[in-house]
Every structure is written in C-alpha cells, then in structure tokens.
Copies of this chain bind each other. A is one copy, B any other.
Amino acid sequence: MTRTIRLAAVSLVAIPLIAATLEDPPLRGYSADASKVQREWEAKFRAIPEPSRIRENLRLLSARPNHLGSAYQKENATRVRDLFRSYGWQAEIEEYSVLFPTPKERVLEMVAPTKFVARIDEPVLKEDPTSGQKAEQLPTYNSYSGDGDVTAPLVYVNYGTPADYDELDKRGISVRGAIVIARYGGSWRGIKPKVAYEHGAVGCLIYSDPKDDGYAQGEVYPAGPWRPKDGVQRGSVMDMPVYPGDPLTPGVGATKDAKRLDIKDAVTIMKIPVMPISYADAQPLLAAMTGPVAPESWRGGLPLTYRIGPGAARVHLKLSFNWNQTPLYNVIAKLPGSTWADEWVMRGNHMDGWVNGASDPLSGLVAELEEARALGEIYKQGWRPKRTIVYMAWDGEEHGLIGSTEWAEHHGDELQQKAVMYLNTDGNGRGFLSAEGSHYLENLVNAVARDVTDPETGGTVWKRWQAAVIARGDAKAKGEARGGRADLRIAALGSGSDYTPFIQHLGIPTLNLGFGGEGGGGVYHSIYDSFTWYSRFADTTFTYGRALAQTVGTVIMRTANADVLPYQFDNLAETARGYAAELKALRDAEAAKIAEVNRQHDEGVFTAMNDPWNPLQPPQREVNAPIIEFARLDNSLDSLTRAAQRYERMQATAIIQNLGAVALGQANALLRTADQEMLLAEGLPRRPWFKHSLYAPGLYTGYGVKTMPGAREALDSHDWATANRELIRISGALDKEAALIHKAATVLERKSVVP
C-alpha cells in the first residue's frame, strides 16, 4: 500500500469516528458493537465489590503474623487458593525453596562514652491486640544483612546516599572502620549499607527519624497513626538493584532441585551487619556523638545537635543469622480465556507481610480477591474473557520480591510467549490514583480512570487525578493536564514491588496501580501495621479498596476482551523523547558543574571562602565533559514516532470491525512483545539481570527509577565513554520497537478493508 492510499483510507474513516463520539466513544481496540457489550459488562462488574467483604478478608488475613516461612502465611496461601476456587477460578499453590535468613543473635550497645543497651524490640500495646503475638513475630532486623561482630566509632551519614558521602569528603571525614548510622529516607534502605560498605564501613544502623517518620508528622500510635518512639522499620537490604529474588538462584526459578550458588558467592547479600532501630534507640547514640555539626539538611527531629562524628561514641553491633532454606508459597489462579486462551492477562499482589501486614500488602490483596469474586460473579452471569485471566498472590515479596521473581524466572519462556499484561498492586489507601508502567498502556489507564467513581468526591477517579496534577504540577504539567495532552502521565517503573521481574527482566507489558496520598502514618514494616491500625487510620470505610478493585478489574476486563490489544504508542514515543531531552540536560548540567568547580579552583574561590575554624576540602578538579553523541538516539526516536503515528491511523474502530480472527491474532502476537523488543540482550552495565533499555531501579537509588538507565547512570557518574556506548544500545532497542510497530501496522493495513 502506498502512502497516498493510506492517507485516503484515514480520511474515509474519519466520519464514522466523529459520529461515534456523539454517543459513547468506542473503546480502543474494540469494534463499535463489541465496545457497547464490553461497557455493559464492565458496569455490571463494578457494581459487585463490597467494602464489608474487603474489610472482613483484611481482618482474617492479617489476624496473625504472615511473613515468609510463617505458619499463618502457609494457612493464608491455602485460604487464598480456596477463596479463588470458591469464586469459580482454577487455583493452585506453587512452591519454591528459598534462602531466608532469620536472626540468631542481635546485640546493639554503646560502649563509650557511656554504656547503653538498645531495646531493639517493639512493645506490645493493649490497644492493638495483634501486637502481642510475640511468639510468631519476626524480630526487628534487616533481612540479608551480613553476619558480623564489630565495635567501632559511629559516623552519622544522613540518608547514606552517595551525595551524602560528598559532604563527608568536604569535611575530610572517612567512614573506614566505622559503623555508620543513617536515617531512613532519601533512598531505598538497601542503598545505605551498600554505599557504606563501598566506603569502608564495617557496620550500619538505620533508624526512623521522628522528623520524617514520627512525632513531627503527627500524633503517634496508638493515639494517632504515626510511628511511636520504639517502632522499627524492618526491611530487606538484599542488593535488589543487581538482581532480586532468591540470592542463590539468579535468573532461574528456585525449584527444589535448582542449581544454587554458595552463600559466599551470592553478591546480593550485604557484606556487613545492618540493623534497623527505633528513634528511642537512636537518640542516646546520636546524643553521644561529637565531631562537626551536621549541615542543616541533615538534621532530624530529635532534641539534640546532630553531629557527624567520628568521636566519642563507640558502639558494639553483633548480628548472626540462621541461613536456612524456607518453603515459599505462591497462589496462581486462572479464569480461562474463551478465544485466545494462550494470551494471559495477569494481575498480582503479594500476600506476605513483615509482621501482620494489614496495610502492606493485605489492603491491596483484599481488593484483588474482591475483583476475583466479582469477575467470578459475572462469569456465572455469562460473561467470558477472550483471554485467560491469571491472578497471583505472591509470597516472600518483603525479603526481595522473591515469590514473583522465582515464578517469573521459572516460567520466563512461557510468559514471554503468552503474557499481554502484568498488573501489580500493593498496599492501598485513601486519595488519588497513582499509576506507573509501560507507556503504551498510559492511554488505557486514563480511559479506565474516567469510568470509575471516586468515593470521596463523587467525581471520576480521573478528574481527581487531573486536579492533583493541576494543583501540584509545574507549568508544563498543568498545561498538559488542562488539555494540552490527551492523557495524564503515568510514571516509569523503578522497583519496590512485584512488577520488577515482569517488566525489567522479561519485558512483559506492565502496570502498577494504587490509591493514596491522603492520611498517612508510620507503621510500615512494624508490628503495628495491623487491622486495628488500618481500620482506625487508613481506608476506614474500605471504599478505596472497592475503588481499587473497580479500577483494576476494569483494566483487566478491557485488556482481556479487546480485539486488538489496547496499546497506544504515541505516548511511548513522546515519553521516550522526554527521556532523551532529560539526558541531554543532564549532560549539560554535569558539564557545567565540572566546569564551574574547575573555574573556582582557577579563581581561588575555595581558598578565599575557607573558614579556618571550619575548614572544608574543595571538590576535586575533573576533566571537562565531552560532547555526547545523541544523534543516533534522536534518529531512533524519529523512527519510533513515525511508526507510532502510522500505527495510530490503523487503530480506528472501523478498521478493527473488519479484521478477521487471523489478522487479529497476528497483530496481537506482535503487540504483546512491545516491551520485549526494548530489552537489551546483555542487560544493563554491571547488572545483566536487568534488561529493559528504558526502565530500571537506580543502582544507587534502589527503588527510584532511572529511565534510559544505562546512559543515565553513566552520565550521573561522569563515565562518558559508557554513556556513548549505552546510547547506541538504547537506540538499537528503540529501532527494534519501531520495526515491531511498523509490522503490526502492516498487518492491520493488509488485512483491513475500508468500509
């Protein structure tokens, strides 16, 4: 087909499109007739979920500690499987065996200038019955900490990010041989011991500062929702930005007979002892410190002078662990597809908490269960998904996305053949929809958000989302939200929940959804994340649990039954262009920083600024930044944009109406590889498990995303040669994506007959 003919085809379909918008606009990927039927079923579905059932499931599932390896988690797996079955689904438990360290010995004491033994235990509260289940609770610890027994001076490192170590360097302070104390925040917790270890520290304490997570934020539990003085944020410190999942089975499923690394060879286990503590335990340590006063942005909310050390305060930290293999139970439930049973629309939420886990993760899981019930109901009423719907409940998320990662690695080939989407949720709350994922799904999320009612305002979820962007965004974001762009933007996926193996290792089209942003609190990963806390301070009416079930279920149904998968590549191309612009700006900003430092050296500014009472080391001179090669990337982005535009013209409902089953199958088979085409075969520099060219958690942010990560992290670290090399790899991935989209467009063009 020539260009002229194609344009003619477009102008011919314009009339029915406009006509259609006079009533309900047809759904993307649906013929007009199918669209009408689909809307009716979606509306029936959304009428079913009930807050009272969501509440009851939350109460039941959070009734006892349910961490990986616990008796109650095994019970819950059976309970969840049976619930799925009771809703009419096929459901099974799939078991793995994973390395899971639990504490054998935990000692933290200050030995100088005075003696202080840390409590390292969260007290039972009479107001919260499950807080007293001491025998079943995991104690306060960081999983995948190293064993160790060290006594050393303390150095306060703020959030413990690489930038914080630059501040230490300025003051000529080293952490070599020291135990660092870092506050939670500023990065994912696992970054703190990793960076400390890289700088020579022998131990790491992480505490919750009351400024960020305690009384400064509001009334503490049980009077209010915020973290009490003895509350501790447990958490994994596995080096997940290198690879998540069982440290002994990278890249393969941790089946009973999988080949396993020796523990000493598992690079994702921390090399030094790491321990989370409360602010009540941190206060005497911080108060005893000497050395320079911490810079203003480092100061927390304790009533003391924050000092950097090292100096008077010395602590003894002794940790040892039982390095046991533990059984892990995932639940996998299916509602079989009627037409394309081998295309899977997947959705998961984890099932394991750190302790009782009412908010994290069960508030999300109970929405998933209510969706499953509602889908089962309409199935009984005659609705049939064209594609197979697969719902999952993961175990072991808290310790390193283990259940999802092992399952994804185990079934990787099958998933890359069959999966058309993985939709993730985790803990849920009151407020605004937040959405992250593959950007060709952005349009789908926007469309669904316009069809769901917000419980608090009675407007649509989309309207509230739009209001938040207008109220909080910068001028560009405001303008887009006001109609300068058809869709509100979804964010890129970093890490922090079970979507990671799907998007970043396998290249499955992925979304992560949830409500939040109102209320708040500080019981995360503590014994106080309980049903009592959740039903007093979070989504107390469970109407946002219902809203989540309605939103997610609608996305799942719409994807399951679309004739052509409802992907929209314009937004992907435009978003990728934005990333390229950011990389250019990043290069220029880093170049300007280097040049400025060098110039200030030449000018004698550092010498003239020096305060002899508080001397600072000037930053190092550095070779000036070269110009980076962006032309290849720009060409690839041009190709991608043209491909997306061409594909978009073929998405018209009138065209879909005329496509036969073979063509649809061909088109869908191409489309579902849309993220796989953007994978890099060798993965990212220093971490081959992470393969996506556009999205990864930062090596030094942990959860926070780095887009076009190979190039961006090279620019961050002034590794200009790697940046140039990675830009070529990213360009190659985008070229493949453009070629795929052209192929899909060609299928639609060849097979379509203009009405």
Binding site for B on A (CB under 8 A): 210-211, 215-220, 224, 293, 299, 301-306, 430-431, 454, 456-457, 459, 463-464, 466-468, 470-471, 482, 518-519, 600, 603-605, 607-614
Contacts and interface: CB of A to CB of B under 8 A. Distances in A.
B612 A471 contact: no
Nearest to A482: B603
Q: Which one of A218, A430, A614 has the highest number of Cβ atoms from chain B below 10 Å of its Cβ?
A: A218
Contacts of A607: 457, 459
Contacts of A519: 611, 613
A609 B468 contact: yes
A606 to B, nearest CB: 8
Given A457-B608, A611-B431, A611-B456, A467 B603 contact: yes
A608 B459 contact: yes
A303 B305 contact: no
Nearest to A431: B611
Contacts of A471: 600, 605, 609
Given A459-B608, A470-B603, 7 more contacts: A216-B306, A218-B293, A219-B305, A430-B611, A456-B610, A463-B604, A467-B604
Contact of A605 (B431, B470, B612, B613): B470
B305 A302 contact: no
A608 B463 contact: yes
Contacts of A306: 216
B457 A610 contact: yes
A613 B537 CA distance: 10
Nearest to A605: B467
Contacts of A600: 470-471
Contact of A303 (B301, B431, B457, B613): B301
Contacts of A457: 607-608, 610
B464 A608 contact: yes
A303 B220 CA distance: 12
Nearest to A456: B612
Q: Which one of A211, A220, A301, A466 has the highest number of Cβ atoms from chain B below 10 Å of its Cβ?
A: A301
Contacts of A215: 303-305
27 contacts: A210-B303, A215-B303, A215-B305, A216-B299, A217-B305, A218-B293, A218-B305, A219-B305, A301-B301, A301-B303, A303-B303, A430-B613, A431-B611, A456-B612, A459-B607, A459-B608, A464-B608, A464-B609, A466-B608, A467-B609, A468-B608, A468-B609, A471-B600, A471-B605, A471-B609, A518-B611, A518-B614
Contacts of A603: 467, 470, 482
A227 to B, nearest CB: 12
A440 B695 CA distance: 57
Contacts of A430: 611, 613
A305 B215 CA distance: 5
A293 B518 CA distance: 14
A467 B608 contact: yes
Contacts of A299: 211, 216, 301
Contacts of A609: 464, 467-468, 471
A539 to B, nearest CB: 11
Contacts of A612: 456
A524 to B, nearest CB: 19
Contacts of A466: 608
A157 to B, nearest CB: 18
A518 B613 contact: yes
Nearest to A218: B293
A293 B217 contact: yes
Contacts of A467: 603-605, 608-609
A610 B463 CA distance: 12
Contacts of A293: 217-219
A609 to B, nearest CB: 5
A459 B604 CA distance: 10
A289 to B, nearest CB: 12
A501 to B, nearest CB: 35
A613 B520 CA distance: 11
Contacts of A470: 600, 603, 605
A394 B218 CA distance: 48
A600 B470 CA distance: 8
Contacts of A216: 299, 305-306
Nearest to A611: B518
Contacts of A608: 454, 457, 459, 463-464, 466-468
Contacts of A456: 610-612
